[in-house]
Each structure stands twice: as structure tokens, then as C-alpha cells.
Structure 1
Amino acid sequence: MSERSVERWRRAWREDGMAALASAGPPKLPRLSDGRFAELEKEPALRPAAHGWADQRWSLARIRALIAWRFRIDCSMAAVWRLMHRHGRSWQCPARRAVERDEGAVGLWKKDVWP
């Protein structure tokens, strides 16, 4: 903390007491309210293909584009990550499996070749 901040706090404390030192809350409220986030949660249920993306994965960039399109709010990737994290979402990496995958051949390879 800087000396200037300490002096500002001392002056506020001398003039108004402890009430002047109470927190005024966060410096900036989230741009996307809880109600709007509830609306946003309905969109990914439609799958990315419904929004024009070929594969079935949601990324931060796609969620950011969806927020910009749906609510006309431009936010950074970090802001989208904080928004998702604040609402209990975590990063997920889907298991990529080829459509042509032969489970029997994979099992044999693991048993015979891998050791």
C-alpha cells in the first residue's frame, strides 16, 4: 500500500470515524447479471451446432461470442473465465475418440504389444 492511501484513510477516519473505512463493495459489478447468466445457460444446451459451429465443444471464445451476440456485451476471455468460474463451471477436456475406433483391437494391443 502507498503512503498516499494511508493518509487518505487517516483523513477519512478523523473526519467520519470507522464508518468512513467500511467497504463500499466491489469496484466494478459483473457485466452479466445472475438473471442474464441463467438465460446464457440455456444457450449451450442447444449445442454449438445450433449456433453455427461444426464440432460439439464449447470454448471460452465461443461463449464470449455468444455473450456478444445475445447480450451485446463485449468482454475479455479472462472475464468470461471468471464468469464461468464464479458460477461453478470448470474447464473440461472431452475424451477424443475416433468414430472408427475398434475397442477389440485396442484391448488386444494393450494386452500383447504394450507390455
Structure 2
Amino acid sequence: MFHISYTVEGTWRLLKRQGWSWQQPARRAIERDDSAVEVWKKETWPRVRAVRRSATPGSSLRMKPDSR
């Protein structure tokens, strides 16, 4: 919207300036439905999980190898 981008460090500084901090929940939410989570893991997650590339050896170079 404003065409502004921030680095991770810059974002952290902005949040810290506003009084935010990294927090981890002390316990699970009361609204959590463990049976729905299990269904999602078994049925939905396999369909949306990204397909992994094959583990074949390759090169990270963008140039073609020199053919001598």
C-alpha cells in the first residue's frame, strides 16, 4: 500500500519501540479442538504441503559449465 519494506531487524525495532515483545503462549487456547487439528493434519496438510524437489546433485551456478 505504501511501497515500504523493512528488514527483520527493522521490524523488530519498530515493534519493540511500540512496547511489543516476543512471547510464547504459556498454555493452549481453550477454544482449541484437538480432534479438528488431527483431522486437518491427516486430510488437509498432505494436499497443501509443498512437493519437495528430488535430492539429485546439481550446481547452484546460473552459468552453463565450460565445455572444453
TM-score (norm 2): 0.36
Q: Over alpha carbons, which structure has the higher Rg?
A: 1
Which structure's residues are more often helix, by fraction? 1
Q: Which has the higher contact order (CA 8 A, sep 6+)?
A: 1
